[in-house]
A = this chain, B = another copy of it.
Amino acid sequence: MKVTNQHKAFGGQVKFIQHDSDATKTPMTFSVFEPEGIISGAIFWLSGLTCTEQNFITKAAALEAFSKHRLLLICPDTSPRGLSLPHEHADWDFGSGASFYVDALSDGYKDHYQMYRYISEELYALMIENYPIKNKVSIMGHSMGGHGALLMGLKNPGKFNSVSAFAPIVNPMQCPWGKKAFMGYLGEDRQAWLDYDACELIRQGKKHPNPILISQGTEDEFLESQLRPENFMKVCDEYQQPLNFEYQSGYDHSYYFISSFIQQHITFHQQYLV
């Protein structure tokens, strides 16, 4: 692990770290906030389309709360970088910056876009090795990263104590962003898609023992077209997955929305990390 940049913030340290990933076979970059004092737990943050390891740590106004609760923040990048795969850089909603946190099966992508494995196994293990956070790790994310947090948490309830999301893509098989990504990364066989769709995972009997917290702005520009939270509410209800779903009146899809409710999410996770 090589620290490429470091800044003191709220008594702790923001670090930008680069390492060579086995899963993606590329260098990968992530950021952390290390609070001052004895670390009491960790929260992974998964970002949305077009983001990097920079967005959340600079724009979410979250570091004070991480500092106060002495929680480690871990922000992975949203895809491998520095490659030239087919169509990888053509669109903002596919390829670079848009991994959808799956383990790709398609030609070219399957060799590098192993982001599910990268986060839930490789980076997870690296963090446990380097920080005293064993059995005290939770996960949250936004939009595509909210989808990532839901699938990581539902598939690994023993690894992630709690799960929350802002404006998540809950049902990627049923929305344009998700269909495009799954077709490109997983191919035409829809059977493979079922592994990476939060609604389908619940239907398969996957469950998280703790309530999942979701915040959703009512003025979100992607609410109807891409997010469709009611699909997740319905399936959670049907399969008894505890869910705290909150509509927030007037908020959109931006970091202004995230920053307004991030303290609530951190406090939510904190109760499962003590």
Interface residues of A (CB under 8 A from B): 7-11, 14, 58-59, 61, 63-64, 217, 219, 250-252, 254-257, 259-260
**C-alpha gap A94/B219 in the complex (Å):** 40
Please name all residues of chain B whose beta carbon is closer than 8 Å to the beta carbon of A11 when the two chains form the complex: 260
- Complex partner residue of A59 from B8, B10, B58, B252, CB under 8 angstroms: B58
Please name all residues of chain B whose beta carbon is closer than 8 Å to the beta carbon of A251 when the two chains form the complex: 8
**C-alpha gap A7/B219 in the complex (Å):** 9
**C-alpha gap A61/B254 in the complex (Å):** 14
Q: How far is the CB of A255 from chain B (nearest CB, A)?
A: 7
Please name all residues of chain B whose beta carbon is closer than 8 Å to the beta carbon of A64 when the two chains form the complex: 61, 259
14 CB < 8 A contacts A-B: A7-B256, A8-B217, A8-B251, A8-B252, A8-B256, A8-B260, A9-B257, A9-B259, A9-B260, A10-B260, A59-B59, A61-B63, A61-B259, A63-B256
**Sample of 17 further A-B pairs with CB below 8 A, known A9-B259, A58-B255, A61-B61:** A7-B252, A7-B254, A7-B256, A7-B257, A8-B217, A8-B250, A8-B251, A8-B252, A8-B256, A9-B256, A9-B257, A9-B260, A11-B260, A14-B256, A59-B59, A61-B63, A61-B64
Across the interface, do A219 and B8 meet the contact criterion of CB distance under 8 Å?
Answer: yes
Please name all residues of chain B whose beta carbon is closer than 8 Å to the beta carbon of A257 when the two chains form the complex: 7-9
Please name all residues of chain B whose beta carbon is closer than 8 Å to the beta carbon of A7 when the two chains form the complex: 252, 254, 256-257
Q: How far is the CB of A32 from chain B (nearest CB, A)?
A: 13
Chain A binding surface, main DSSP class: mixed
Q: How far is the CB of A253 from chain B (nearest CB, A)?
A: 9
**C-alpha gap A59/B59 in the complex (Å):** 5
**C-alpha gap A260/B8 in the complex (Å):** 9
**C-alpha gap A10/B255 in the complex (Å):** 11
Q: How far is the CB of A269 from chain B (nearest CB, A)?
A: 19
Q: How far is the CB of A50 from chain B (nearest CB, A)?
A: 15
Across the interface, do B63 and A259 meet the contact criterion of CB distance under 8 Å?
Answer: yes
**C-alpha gap A7/B8 in the complex (Å):** 29
Q: How far is the CB of A35 from chain B (nearest CB, A)?
A: 12
Q: How far is the CB of A131 from chain B (nearest CB, A)?
A: 20
- Name the residue on B nearest A9 (C-beta): B256
Please name all residues of chain B whose beta carbon is closer than 8 Å to the beta carbon of A255 when the two chains form the complex: 58
Please name all residues of chain B whose beta carbon is closer than 8 Å to the beta carbon of A59 when the two chains form the complex: 58-59
Q: How far is the CB of A94 from chain B (nearest CB, A)?
A: 26
Please name all residues of chain B whose beta carbon is closer than 8 Å to the beta carbon of A61 when the two chains form the complex: 61, 63-64, 259
